[in-house]
Structure formats: C-alpha cells, structure tokens
Chain A
Amino acid sequence: MKRCLQVMLGLALWLGLVGTGTARAAEKLIIEAALDRQIVDPVLDAFAAENPQIDLDYRDRSTLEVDRRARDRESPPDVVISSAMPWQLALSNEGMAQPLDAPEVDQWPAWAKWRNEVFGFTFEPVVMAYRLELASHMPPPETHRDLLDLLTHYRHWLDGRVVSYSPRESGVGYTLFQQDARYTPRAWDLIAAMGAANINLETTTQRMLAGLSEGRYWLGYNLLGSYAMLWAQTHPDIIVQVPNDYSLVLMRMAFVHRDAPHPAAARRFVRFLLSRRGQHILAGQTPLFSVRDDVIGPYTAQRLRDQVGDHLYPIPINATLLAFVDPLRRDAFLRRWDREIQILSE
C-alpha cells in the first residue's frame, strides 16, 4: 500500500516536473535508475534548479530492468544508474559507457571508478534489520555468526519470519550473496540455516522493510542500509544493525551511455553527481552516504567509518565483478543456492 503510494507520489512529481519542464526546457535528459526517486529527489531537485533548461526524465526501475533498458539499441537512455554493480561494470566492459573527462573525475577516488566511465557515487552499508520485539525473545544479532546461532537455536521462533533478497530475481541480492560467499564459505552455512528457517525472498529492500513493519517478518538480512536507516527514523520499532564482523558496502554506479541521445546534459548530470555540491546534498539530505572525503554531513563514508569501525568492505569496483555476471557462474551459484537452501529442510 505504502509502496503504491510512493509510486503514485513519484509519478505525480515526475509528471509535475515534465509538465513544468516542457514549457521552458530545450534539452531532455533520460535517466534509467535503480534508485528510489523519493530518496534521490533532493539531488535531482538541486540539479534541476541549477539547469532549468534541462528536462529531466527520471525512470525508477529494478536493477535487471535498468540493465535491459541500457542494452536497448533503439532508444538508449542518457544516464544509467544501478546498484547492480556487476551488471554496470559489464555494460562498461561491453563498451556501452563513454569515458568522462572532467576535474571531478580526476579528483574522484580510484577505488570508486572504473576506466573513467563508471563511477560509484554512493557508499551504502549492507545491514541487518529486526523488529524491536525480537530482542525480548533472543539476544539481537550483531554479527553474521550471531545470526547463524539465532537461526540454529531459535529456529522455531524465526521460522518463516526471516527475509532477504532473492538472488535470482534481484541483481543486488545476487551480488551481495556472491560477495558473502566470496569472503567466507561459511556463508553457505548461513544460507542453509536460513533455508531451514523457511526464509522469505523479496526483490527490494522497501518490501522487506514494509514486511518488517507489518510484523510479517522479524529479521531481515542484507538490506540496503540507506533505505533501512531512513525507514527506521520513522519506524522506531525497527532496529538497524550494521554487522560488527564485516559489513559489505554497496555503491550505486552511474555512467553516461555511449549512445546517449543528449550527451551534454548526461555528462553535466554525472559531473553534478560527483561534484562537491552534488555529494554535499547526498550527504545532507539523502541517506546514500557521500564518497568524497571533503564533504561534511550526517551521511558520509568517513562518518560511517568513524561510527562502525574499519570493518566496512566496499564491493570492489574492478574486473572481478565481471565474473559474477558470467552465465555459467551465475547458474552454478544459483544451483548451489537451491541445493543449500534445502539441505537442512529434509
């Protein structure tokens, strides 16, 4: 219901922007994004205010849909934004992105860009979230090991009440589980334990959060911290926990499409995302966390590091991500997922 409302709100905003935009705008800008409009709105508004001549067409979609649209040779978008990092990197590797030459690009940290084409412009920790009432039945989880222990010892409490991303239907979910499994093989024990607890699989963090608030779920694993933290501000019954052993960090990646129909506006937008001003808005008015060191605000990578310590592990932006989108590897991973998720159920 809430989701529906958001979509409608987004649509209304979008229509409003288009409506007012067409009157004076000369240049269009099509953005295909897997990033909630509602969250990124302050950035878009600031950009629109700075560039009134640009008619912003922001299309919020799922990660896999964004990837499909980016490959559409008939009507390519100008800017592609997605949190499905392997897919974004694959698009760059296939030559779908154009390199950007700008001072913002030169200043951008090397670990957050690839080929000067794709830029990770947010710094979003991956978190666990649980209902407050969970703490009255069991010690709340702080690490991955805690989570495995809870799933083992309190399975009857948690049965059917655990939720996570679907690795099959969500690019983000697939990436996160792949990365988990890459760091430690014990991730498979966790997956098996979650399978034994009849885990629910969702496609977006928002749906997981909604389920938690409604009481359908008690415990969520691998949620996007940005969404969860925003949610928790208005839902005090939801506790967000950044894992204490290690926390993956996801970065939204943006690039200018090679065949962008409005390349000048597209470059301007990506430069704005990377600029001090853009990042400042990101740090102050969105929960997306700024990457830049020289930006100060409640949501910066630096501040997050100060708060949770040095166990933040950003998913590296390099060619290793390409292996995740290899169809054979994906199939093998999903096959093993299916095997492990049932292994304790018999």
Chain B
Amino acid sequence: MIPPQTSLKRRLALWLIAIVAGLGTLLLIEAYTSARKAADRAMDGQLEAASLTIAESLQWPEGKPTLEMPASALQILATRWQERVFYWLQADNGLSITQNADLPITASMQVEARRQPVYLDAVYDGQPIRLSGREVDSAGWDTQEPVQLWVGHTRHGRDLLAQELFRKSATRFAAMVLITAALVAIAMHTMLAPLRRLRQALRDRRADDISPLRLGVPKEMHELVETLNRLFADQRHHRDALLRFIADASHQLKTPLAGLQSTSELALSSREPAIWHQALEAVHDSAERTSRLAGQMLSLTRLQHLGPGHERQPLALDRLMREVATDWADRQDSRDHDLGLVIDMPTPVWVEGESWALHELLNNLIDNACRYTPPGSEITLGLAHDDGDDEQVTLTLEDNGPGVDAESLGRLTQPFERGRRQDTCGSGLGLAIAESIAVRHAGQLAVSNRQPRGFRVTLTLARCRPPEESRT
C-alpha cells in the first residue's frame, strides 16, 4: 500500500493561507495607509478652519500686520481630542508677529505656502505634528505686507481616528477570510463527494467483478472512471482470452486423445498383429503430435507469463538466421521445400534479443511455412534495411504457397488459428508464439499475402550498437 502523499484538504488550506497571507498583507497595508489618509483629510479640515479664522482676525493698522488671537480658532485647532496647538505668524520681512511655539518652518515650506495652502507632517518637541501653512494678504489703504500663517497640532486624534478606521477594515477583512474559509470547506466537502462515492463503489465490488462502473460523476472525474472501465475491459478481454485458450487447448488435446482411444480400442478388438502394428504407428504419430502440441502450448504460456525480456543482449541476427537455416536444411521436415536465405545488407546486423526466443520464432515461422505450403514451394528467409528507418531492420519469411484468404489474415496470430486449413497437422500456435516473441522484443510482426501468390511474415526489430568486444 502506497502511503498517501498529501491531503487535498491540507494542500487547499495551505494555498488558501498563502493567498490570504499575501493578499491580506497587501490589503492591510493599503487599509492602514488609506485610514491614515482619511484621518488626515478629516482633520486637515480643522486646521483649515482654524487657519481661516485666524486669517480673518488679522488687521493691518497703518500697514503693519497685527492680530487679536481669536479664542475659537485655538479651540477648533485643539479638536475634541484636546491636541496641543501651535501657531506661528510671521510678517513678510521675516519678523515674527506672534507665535506660541518655535515651529520648524523652513524657507522652502514658506515658499510653498506662498503659492497655495499646504498641509504637511513635521516633528516638534519630539512629537509628530501636522502643520498647515498659508499666506494671507488683504487689500487696504496702505501697502500691506502679506503674512505667513502656520497652525498645527499633535496627531493624537488622527492616530485614534486612523486606528479606528483601520480596525474596521481589518475586522471586515477577517470576517471575509472566515467566510471564505467556511465556503471553501463546504465546497471541498461537496467537490470530494463524487470521489468518496467512487471509492465506496470500488470498495463494495466483489474481487472478481470486472463489469464497467456505472456512476454519475462530474466531467473532471469522468476520465478517471473511463480509464478504470478500460482497465476492467482489458481485464475482461484477458480473462476471456485465457478462458478461450483453455477451452481451445482442451479441445485441441481432446481430438488426438479421442483418436488415440478409438485407434487403441480398434486394435485391442483385433487379433491381427499387423493391425496392432499399424495401430501402434498411428498411436506413435498421434502421441508425437500431441506432445508437440503440448510443448507449443507450454512455450506460449511461458512466453505470455514471463515478464518483459530482461535477458536481452546484443546478438548478430544474420548469424542466427544462418544457423537456423542450416539447421532446417538438414531436417526431414523441409526436404520437400526449397529453403533459401537472402541477406540484403552489410553484416553483421546487431539487435538486442534473447537468443533462444529468436530461435523459437524462426523455427515456428519456417515450420509453419513447411506445413502450409505444398511440396516444392520456395521458402525464403530475408533480412533487409527497413525502408524508412535506418535504426530498424526487417526480417521476412516469404513463400510462394497458396497464401491465406483475406478474412483470416487478421486472426492468424491468435492461438489455434489455422487460416481455415484443416488439412495439416500443425498446432495452430506457431504464429501466436512468434507474435508473443516479437512483442517481447518490442518488434512488430505483420502478415500479408504476396502477389500473385504466396504469404509473407514481416518482423521489424530495432537495431542496436555492436558490443564492445566485436567492434575492433
């Protein structure tokens, strides 16, 4: 059992936290600055009101500015938060008119205030304060000096106001996060419901149940269910093939055994030694065929139940073919056929493979060709470049026999398929074995008819680099 790697819920929660943390930080910074700005905007109005009230009280008797400080202006400036209040008035010639604090007002600030009323932060007496400055001018009978008028107060009220605004924003944000988290949790639960249903459905199945799943699932999960159903279908096919193979094999074994039984019964009922002898020969032939059939079946099941070919190593295909051809030339079975070998490419030709398996493959192909062609037919084993691909090599076995009727071509590689030929004593397993071996070697086995007559088996294999020791 593979331990679960991560929890979907945890992953989603982490994502949510990351998003909330990132976004939250930005939002809170924004909320803080905008809260401060809003507080400043609101309170700057008080500065302006106080400044205007003082400006209104300015008088220029005999052209010189003077002021009777209006008490209300200072109260406006103090606000309900009882700020410390500051004022600073200076005539154009740089002489102070009146002030209650030595405010840090620079020349550049004065220049700025000359253009338009300004609001800015400053530090006085170790405390952050907010200042507003303007220049006041008025018409009069005499030439009048303009006056720089600066008022200011401490930031206590602004800080409180900003804090309040910020706290409201932060509360709203926290509520939003909580609601989102709740919604996500609910959504997660709902979204994962089909997965849970699938799990339940799979868990409730019997071990041998391979029928397709019938389950309503969302679009995103449909593919998963389809894949599962394909897997089940494959399993079903495999099992069907296996069952068919067993049935076929039983049937194939039953026929010769029935023959043996009837032959031996017939012989037993006779007193003629000649008939006994004849029967014994028939029994011997039949036993030999049956034994071969059993061998072939064993070979096929072994091939199908072996794992992938791990013992493949580079081998010279042309040399292997020559060995097989030479071997067959000496055999009784091929004495009526004209067996040829054509290697139409530079040798040696290296492929990766298992020697015994490729031997088996060639043997089966040649055996088939001998069995299903009339005596005197030509059988040619060929090796050539693949037309399209330098990395591949094509092994062919051709004969000029009757060929196979087109309908059967596709089924030829299935076990016990003889291309509607009942006239031979072949097991019907040769091509199936060849196919299995080809698959083991990652090659392709194809069958076709030749024109005008004849049959061809083509095996395409990947070439490999020659082994180190043979390269010199």
Contact = CB atoms under 8 A, between A and B. Distances in A.
Interface string A105-117: 0000000001100
Contacts of A326: 69, 98, 100
Contacts of B84: 92-95, 115
Interface stretch (A61-69, A74-82, A119-127, A315-323): A315-323
A319 B98 CA distance: 17
A95 B154 CA distance: 11
Contacts of B69: 322-323, 326, 328-329
Contacts of A182: 71
A100 to B, nearest CB: 14
B72 interface: yes
Interface string A318-337: 11111111111100100000
A323 B50 CA distance: 13
B179 interface: no
Given A93-B85, A328-B97, A319 B67 contact: no
Nearest to B98: A328
Considering residues B67, B71, B72, B101, which has the most beta carbons from chain A within 10 angstroms of its beta carbon?
Answer: B71
Contacts of A324: 71
Interface in B60-87: 66-75, 77-78, 82, 84-85
B61 to A, nearest CB: 11
B125 interface: yes
B365 to A, nearest CB: 105
Contacts of A92: 84
Interface residues of B, number: 21
A90 B71 contact: no
Nearest to B70: A323
A330 B78 CA distance: 21
A326 B57 CA distance: 14
B66 A319 contact: no
* Interface residue SS majority, chain B: mixed
B68 A95 contact: no
Contacts of B101: 94
B66 A318 contact: no
* Interface residue SS majority, chain A: helix
Nearest to A117: B82
Interface residues of A, number: 21
Contacts of A327: 98
Nearest to A326: B69
A322 B70 contact: no
A322 B82 contact: no
A81 to B, nearest CB: 20
B370 to A, nearest CB: 114
Contacts of A90: 100
Interface in B209-259: none
A114 B100 contact: no
A332 to B, nearest CB: 5
A2 B84 CA distance: 42
Nearest to A332: B68
A325 B84 CA distance: 15
Considering residues B66, B73, B75, B97, which has the most beta carbons from chain A within 10 angstroms of its beta carbon?
Answer: B75
Given A328-B67, A328-B69, A114 B75 contact: no
A322 B98 contact: no
B100 A115 contact: no
Given A93-B84, A328-B66, A328-B68, A319 B100 contact: no
A187 to B, nearest CB: 15
Contacts of A95: 84, 125, 127
A311 B97 CA distance: 38
B74 A323 contact: yes
Considering residues A319, A321, A325, A328, which has the most beta carbons from chain B within 10 angstroms of its beta carbon?
Answer: A319
A114 B83 CA distance: 10
B125 A322 contact: no
B53 to A, nearest CB: 11
Contacts of A323: 69-71, 73-74
B85 A322 contact: yes
A326 B97 CA distance: 11
Nearest to B126: A95
Nearest to B79: A319
A324 B69 CA distance: 8
Contacts of B66: 328, 332
A289 B47 CA distance: 38
A322 B100 contact: yes
A93 B83 CA distance: 8
A93 B78 CA distance: 10
A328 B127 CA distance: 27
A183 to B, nearest CB: 12
Contacts of B75: 318-320
A119 B74 CA distance: 19
Contact of B100 (A93, A318, A320, A332): A93
A90 B82 CA distance: 13
A319 B85 CA distance: 8
A93 B125 CA distance: 11
A321 B67 CA distance: 16
A330 to B, nearest CB: 9
Considering residues A94, A324, A328, which has the most beta carbons from chain B within 10 angstroms of its beta carbon?
Answer: A328
Given A328-B66, A328-B98, A114 B82 contact: yes
Interface string B317-349: 000000000000000000000000000000000
Considering residues A90, A114, A318, A326, which has the most beta carbons from chain B within 10 angstroms of its beta carbon?
Answer: A326
A322 to B, nearest CB: 5
Considering residues B69, B84, B101, which has the most beta carbons from chain A within 10 angstroms of its beta carbon?
Answer: B69
Contacts of A114: 82
B345 to A, nearest CB: 103
A324 B75 CA distance: 12
27 contacts: A93-B84, A93-B85, A94-B84, A95-B125, A115-B82, A182-B71, A318-B75, A319-B74, A319-B75, A319-B77, A319-B78, A320-B71, A320-B72, A320-B74, A320-B75, A322-B85, A322-B100, A323-B73, A323-B74, A326-B69, A326-B98, A326-B100, A327-B98, A328-B68, A328-B98, A332-B66, A332-B68
Interface of A: 90, 92-95, 114-115, 182, 318-329, 332
Given A182-B71, A319-B71, 18 more contacts: A92-B84, A93-B100, A114-B82, A115-B82, A318-B82, A319-B75, A319-B77, A319-B82, A320-B72, A320-B74, A322-B74, A323-B74, A326-B100, A327-B98, A328-B98, A329-B67, A332-B66, A332-B68
The 5 closest A-B pairs by CB, nearest first: A319-B78, A320-B71, A323-B71, A326-B69, A319-B74
Interface of B: 66-75, 77-78, 82, 84-85, 97-98, 100-101, 125, 127
